Structure 1
Amino acid sequence: MKRENYLALSIIFFLATTLSVQAQNFLPGFNGFSKKKTTYVHLEDGTTTEGNLKGFNYKKGLIKAIYIKDASENKVKIEPKDIVFMYLPPSKLAKLNNFGKFITDAQQWKNKDLDQNLFKEGYTFFEKSEVQIKKKTQTLMVQLVNPDFSNKIKVYQDPFAGETASIGIGPLKAGGIAKSYYVKKDGEKVAIRLKKKNYEEEFKEFFGDCPAMIEKYSDGIKWSEFAKHIYEYTNECN
């Protein structure tokens, strides 16, 4: 088999495998954003501020304030207390680093409450949430990574999370997942940090209101199936 044919078949297999499980996957979290494409910030007063990104203030890697150059070329600082949600365009380098996951973004974002056209262009979605940072609670902007199955539990990127080992060559890698996320169950106001090392012992408390899941996974709880657990809890538990 010619090298180019082998490579083409490898890519097709990779895409098919990725698409077959995408419904139960988290979207990739991005830490780098474009300053050339338009950023859209939807405010509490019902208006939208559009412009090129200038920078951020951070708290533990999460966005504490955003700076935008508006249509009048003014640099505007916007804090989470004034924001409902926003769409940010990842940088080209950030997209490249997330190649294996990013290629299916447009297919995964099917939540009708979100802007499908922006997601097809590769934008990410952030919303305001209270977040527990150690013993304090802060109002920050966090990236939602499970838009299709977030009505019971919202999962947000942890920018400081390490990743499990991945397998593959070059950009065609799979298997690496974050070792922690911020999570918020329906009815709760504050997102808390959930870590891989604590997942097995916290599983029963986290999903304890769904006896079927506790029984199903009584013989083995895997962090690598966290997205699957959230998906099943959302779609199969009352």
Structure 2
Amino acid sequence: MKLRVLLALLFASVSLINAQDEKIDMLMFEPVYNSYSPNVVSKVILEDGTVVEGFRDDVDRKKGQIYYVKLKDSITGEKKEFNAEQIKEMYLFPGGFEKFTKSASYMFDARRWGSQDLQSDLIDKGFIFFKKQTVSLKNKKDERELLMQLINPKFSSLIEVYGDPMAKKTTGLGIGGFNVAGGLAKSYYFKKGDNIFWLEKKNLDDYYENLFGDNTEFMAKYPKKNIKWKMLGEYVFMYTKMSLE
């Protein structure tokens, strides 16, 4: 069994490399992670600025998004509980098989980026970054405060993109029961200014002006009639780069 898993991991790394070349634009976004290590010290920053560190003990979700976290003190073993409305930011480390895919994705990330918006050594070390947002899930539900994974932490100064753990995906590559190459997510949450909304692949045309319409140089380079969902990561990065130059 161990040999089977090892071979699966090895093949997954090769598959991820190949998939990276084919899907490089969307993989400019962080993958959305759903498992978190209980053995690596996590960090929670509360709204009042208090920093709490400890091992991840429990995480509860609403439609995939985190609304409750419990940490266990690494020394005393004391457990502390926090609801999303108490937390400003949070850093968790991926667990299980997702830890491997996170490490693999960062090999390519290092090649791609020379700078980042969020100056955090924890992000550089592979931690997953969450921010509290007041959001209407799928633009339909009552708004509530949730901890959402920021998936473009290195180019998020103008447009923040948050993962949708419930997103449907295009076909991925399955190996030994694992979905190693992923598939492209068909929906994300976007925040520009104070407006945060859920965007599906089929509605990208409808939101083009909302996201990019205030930059004529960008629209000339990436006209609406030619946009492709798989290029969305590049669009957000280039819009940010061209707007800040």
Q: Give the TM-score range, shorter chain.
A: 0.7 to 0.9
The yes-or-no answer on 1:205 pairing with 2:192 is no
Between the two structures, name the one with larger relative contact order (CA 8 Å, sep ≥ 6): 2
The residue number in structure 2 matching 1:93 is 97
1:211 aligned partner, one-letter code? T
Matched, 1:124 2:161: no
Structure 1 window deviating more from structure 2 (165-174 vs 155-164): it is 165-174
In structure 2, the partner of 1:3 is none
CA positional deviation for 1:173: 6.5
1:220 has 2:223 as partner: no
Question: Any gaps of 5 or more consecutive residues in structure 1?
Answer: 1-6
Instruction: Report if aligned partners of 1:28, 1:102 keep a CA contact under 8 Å in 2.
Output: no
Who is 1:178 aligned against? Answer: 185
What TM-score comes out, normalization by structure 2 length? 0.78
Q: Does 1:232 align with 2:238?
A: yes
Structure 2 Cα separation of the partners of residues 99 and 74 of structure 1: 30
Are 2:39 and 1:33 equivalent residues in the alignment?
no
Contact 1:109 1:147 in 2 (8 A): no
Partner of 2:6: none
Note closer, same or farther for the CA distance 1:92–1:140 as it changes in structure 2 (3 Å cut).
same
2: CA distance between counterparts of 1:98 and 1:147? 14
User: What is the letter of the counterpart of residue 72 of structure 1?
Assistant: T
- Of the three residues 68, 71, 90, the one matched with 1:68 is 71
- Distance in 1, matches of 2:216 and 2:131, equals 31
Partner of 2:116: 111
Unaligned 5+ runs, structure 2:
1-9
8 Å contact 2:25–2:233 — kept in the other structure? no
User: 1:104 Cα shift?
Assistant: 3.5
**Aligned-partner residue type, residue 26 of structure 1:** F
Q: 1:207 to 1:99 in 2, by over 3 A?
A: same
Shift of 1:87: 0.9
User: Cα offset for 1:58?
Assistant: 1.3
Q: 1:37 to 1:84 in 2, by over 3 A?
A: same
